[in-house]
Amino acid sequence: MNEVVCPHCRKAFTIDEAGYADILKQVCDSEFESQLHERLEIAEREKQSAIELAKSQASSELQAAAATKDAQIQDLMAKLDAVDVAQKLAVTEALSSVEKERDEIRNELERLKRERHAASELAEAKRLAELRDIAAQKDAEIQGLTAKLSAREVEQNLAISTAVGAVEKERDDLKNHLAKAELEKQLAEKSLKDKYETQIKDRDEAIERLRDLKARMSTKMVGETLEQHCEIEFNRIRATAFPRAYFEKDNDARGGSKGDYIFRDKDENDTEIVSIMFEMKNELDATATKKRNEDFLKELDKDRTEKGCEYAILVSLLESDNELYNSGIVDVSHRYPKMYVIRPQFFIPIITLLRNAAMGALEFKTELAIVKAQNIDITNFETELESFKAGFARNYDLASRQFETAIDEIDKSMNHLQKTKEALLKSANNLRLANNKAQDVTIKRLTKNNPTMAAEFENVVKDLQSREEP
């Protein structure tokens, strides 16, 4: 039984476990609905803010574009007015000059006519012949002036027509340019409007997709989505940027844990350029217990060491409000050597940076590999030399001991032969003594003190002597 206190009347009452669980579920559901509603309101506010910002930006850009176009239009109108004024002024000046010359010629004609009339009246009778000559001369002058006036009028009309044509052409060009500028202004306004409407539509669709995706994804799906994103981004440029690279999931969990992906790149001589252990971490927005990036650094360093990788990188969407991780690539090598924490958008750039940095040390790695190979050759030679010396020493020791054994056996044989020699010498001495004794043996000595044998030997000798005689 659980005791519950009413928050309004402060009266305590007891309920059973089932009722308490039901109330707790209602509270949790209400809290969840409240948080969901709050997040949806925040998203809606962000959407409205983005829309207002986009509208304000579009309005500002449209106003700026309109102001620019208006200024251009005003400038063109001012140039057109100036051209009209210049045209009118040129026409006025041309007409004034023609009218002035025409008036001068008319005045000159009137003056000549008056002079002619006066001359004819004053000297008509007296100088008729001379007056005729003068009249003829004056008529010629009048005709010349008339022709000159006609030519001048034609020339002035041609100049006026040329000036008016040039001004009208410039005016028409300005009008066409003005119409083109107005059309460009309308097109720019329409393009900006369509652009921001498309951006707003795409943002709304992205918000809806994200909202629907987050509503359907489990925690495992969230992590796998980040891994798939990174794998797809890498495979897009694998053939061109990393043709000899190895980028696969880490499936070796013999040490009790494993990372997500291992990246290794080698040159054409099969010398390793760089190696990276990757770990991808993500979580749902509605997760109650939020994790931190630091919670995974120790395990990532352990996996990097066990798998023999040079660098370790945590690709994380955790701590989304942390400005440190949102600012770019974060170096955490003060905690663990050669380790970085990045957002997914820096996945390809950091691989490129580390690979390019390692390429600079590739020559030294190659030289180091050659030196190591030479050291290995020297070590192998020294090992073989030591093995030869050890084998030779062992064989020498065996041969020396066998030689000493043979010498001992020879000494023993010589001692035995010496003893045999001495025995033989003693036997020879005994045989010599026996021979000497045998040489000293005579029948006389044998029969000394033995008359019987002496008599027998005498008989034998006599018998032999008798046989030898004929």
According to the per-residue pLDDT averaged within each range, which of 71-80, 148-157, 423-432 is highest? Answer: 423-432
Task: Give pLDDT, residue 216.
Answer: 46
How confident is the model at residue 354, as a pLDDT?
Answer: 93
Nearest to 245 by CA among 368, 369, 359, 365: 359
Long-range contacts of 75-79 (CB under 8 A, 24+ apart): 76/174, 76/177, 76/178, 76/181, 77/178, 79/174
| Euclidean distance between CA atoms 45 and 57, whole angstroms | 18
Is the per-residue pLDDT at 222 higher than 50? no
pLDDT attached to residue 144: 74
The residue with tokens 């000036």 is: 163
> Which of 325, 249, 330, 255 shows the shortest CA–CA distance to 291?
325
Check residue 221 and give its pLDDT: 40
Across 32-67, b (16+ Cβ under 10 Å) vs e yields: eeeeeeeeeeeeeeeeeeebeebeeebeeebeebee
- Phi first, then psi, for residue 261 (nearest 5°) are -140, 150
Asked if the model's pLDDT at residue 286 lies above 60, the reply is no
Is pLDDT larger for residue 258 or for residue 130? 258
- SS3 category, 322: coil
Does 232 score more than 80 pLDDT? Answer: yes
